[in-house]
Structure 1
Amino acid sequence: MITFLEDFSREVGPVMSALLATAFTWLLTALGASLVFFFKEIKRSVFDTMLGFTGGVMIAASFWSLLAPSIKQSEEMFPDYPWLPAAIGFLLGGLFIFGLDKLTPHLHINFGKEESEGVSTKWHKSTLLLLAITLHNIPEGLAVGVLFGAAAHGADGATITAAIALAIGIGIQNFPEGMAVSMPLRRNGVSRRKSFWYGQLSAVVEPVAGVLGAVAVVHMQNVLPYALSFAAGAMIFVVVEEVIPETQRDKYTDWAVLGFMGGFTIMMILDVALG
């Protein structure tokens, strides 16, 4: 199956591959959100475990799928300073999401309305929750697109199978993300249909970011190590600023840590085994 996907990706090219891969991650978000038609809420212990799992996947993907290839590529471009592009891109990625975080009104999942962040607004809580997950999904889509673009250039450490593995890992952790949006909305009185709509809509930004990332790398090969580490920095910022704090607001912190360990392990296995 992986061989078929690899051959298909070569045939359609990196941009279309990025679009299809991020459409897959979007679909899994929608599948997770669709559970709102069957359940009104989930146990907080399960919820925090799934959030921890999401953080583990993102941290593992940031290193094995993005930073490691960035450093390998930098060794060829800057043999005396192989760490420089990775460091610059990583910091810029974090600062990019930091800027969006400060400017975009949003509300983290387990937080009260009075704890909303970004520019002050009177928007409804459901809109703020949607924007929070949307910010979360931008670096995920970007990472998939950049890696497909890097694989098309034959960058050392970046392969099509690694990009496929990343898309699978992001897709797996997107399933609980869809639930993480739709379930709280339903619990707050939003209809099942609207809860599902908002849940899947949170990931619509992933195909957009994925295509932009692939196009940028394909047409500007010199930015490749910077782009890879940029996506990593963006994902790390999201995990530390958003995902982890959300898991530490109740008594199930140990479950969240176990979920993190599980997500990290699964993404590590996927990347090493397939990449």
Structure 2
Amino acid sequence: MTDIWVPLVLTVLAGLATSIGGMIGVAGRGDSRRLMSMGLGFSAGVMIYVSLVEILPKGREALISEFGDAAGEWLVLLAFFGGIAVIALIDRLVPEEINPHEPGTVDDRARQRALMRTGILTAIALGVHNFPEGFATFIAAIQNPEIGVAVAVAIAIHNIPEGLAVAVPVYQATGSRRKALRWATVSGLAEPAGAIVGYLLLMPFISDGLFGVVFAAIAGVMVFISLDELLPTAEEYGEHHWAIYGLVAGMAVMGISLVLL
């Protein structure tokens, strides 16, 4: 265990990475199809690698230690696909036209106009998506600070293109850099909120077994986001090879960072 302030700071920093994407968007680089394609591929590579190489094995180890080989193996399997099921359900419940993870959001003029008219609903949609990510970072850092840093880096990298995807249409719709940056930042602040709410709800039940389930579920969530949202969106920009280059680069960077950690 570690002091909760360290995990909270990691979660806040990971969440605020959307502001970096927002700054890229309002600086005039948001229309670079190659940049967006490679950036989204990079995010997917980071998340897939850290999920399958670091997070899922840690969850498996904790569950086998707590419940034995057979039960532990079944629990990690159920938790992994349970995480996928939860994030898939969230994606289905959020209307497609305001879903920040759906392909085509950057170039969709209708969504640009609707974004400002439905600000509160958009904020709720972003919060629903980012709550699990914030809790993932927070709970991972509580159990193991080194894994927490790896998850925070993965989520932060994932949040940069998400912040760009939010800021670009707002900027194009309003011409206001301040409003675009504000929306990008607010979308990221849902993550520390998710961390705090999740921790308070689960605090009485925290144990090694729960950590194992959460870790396996986190891995499922991150793999699903990568395969269902990041890679298809990268392909939407028509830069297939750059998306794959980004994917491989993301895996390499995360692999090196885990070795260094």
TM over 0.5: yes
Inter-partner Cα distance in structure 2 for 1:218 and 1:240: 34
**Structure 2: where are the runs of 5+ without partners?**
none
- Answering whether residue 139 of structure 2 is matched by residue 166 of structure 1, we say no
Q: Per-residue displacement from partner, 1:117-140 (whole Å, max 9, x unpaired)?
A: xxxxxx924658766655553343
By how many angstroms is 1:211 displaced? 3.2
Structure 1 residues 114, 91: CA separation in 2 closer, same or farther (over 3 Å shift)?
farther
SS in 2 for 1:147: helix
Inter-partner Cα distance in structure 2 for 1:228 and 1:115: 38
Inter-partner Cα distance in structure 2 for 1:196 and 1:205: 15
SS in 2 for 1:110: coil
- Answering whether residue 79 of structure 2 is matched by residue 89 of structure 1, we say yes
Partner in structure 2 of residue 202 of structure 1: 187
Identity of aligned residues (%): 26
**Structure 1: where are the runs of 5+ without partners?**
1-8, 117-122, 152-159
Structure 1 residues 77, 41: CA separation in 2 closer, same or farther (over 3 Å shift)?
closer
Partner in structure 2 of residue 157 of structure 1: none
Structure 1 residues 261, 115: CA separation in 2 closer, same or farther (over 3 Å shift)?
farther
Code of the residue aligned with 1:177 in structure 2: it is E
By how many angstroms is 1:69 displaced? 0.2
| Aligned with 1:25 (options 2, 14, 21) | 14
Structure 1 residues 137, 272: CA separation in 2 closer, same or farther (over 3 Å shift)?
farther
1:62·1:236 contact (CA, 8 Å) conserved in 2? yes
Code of the residue aligned with 1:196 in structure 2: it is L
- Answering whether residue 99 of structure 2 is matched by residue 110 of structure 1, we say no
2:26·2:167 contact (CA, 8 Å) conserved in 1? no
Code of the residue aligned with 2:220 in structure 1: it is G
Structure 1 residues 134, 259: CA separation in 2 closer, same or farther (over 3 Å shift)?
farther
Cα RMSD of the aligned pairs, angstroms, is 2.8
Inter-partner Cα distance in structure 2 for 1:42 and 1:273: 35
Structure 1 residues 44, 104: CA separation in 2 closer, same or farther (over 3 Å shift)?
same
By how many angstroms is 1:38 displaced? 2.8
Q: TM-score, normalised by structure 2?
A: 0.82
Structure 1 residues 177, 113: CA separation in 2 closer, same or farther (over 3 Å shift)?
closer
Q: Per-residue displacement from partner, 1:228-269 (whole Å, max 9, x unpaired)?
A: 111111122212221111111232011011111111211122
- Answering whether residue 95 of structure 2 is matched by residue 124 of structure 1, we say no
Instruction: Name the structure where helix makes up a greater proportion of residues.
Output: 2
By how many angstroms is 1:71 displaced? 0.9
Structure 1 residues 104, 190: CA separation in 2 closer, same or farther (over 3 Å shift)?
farther
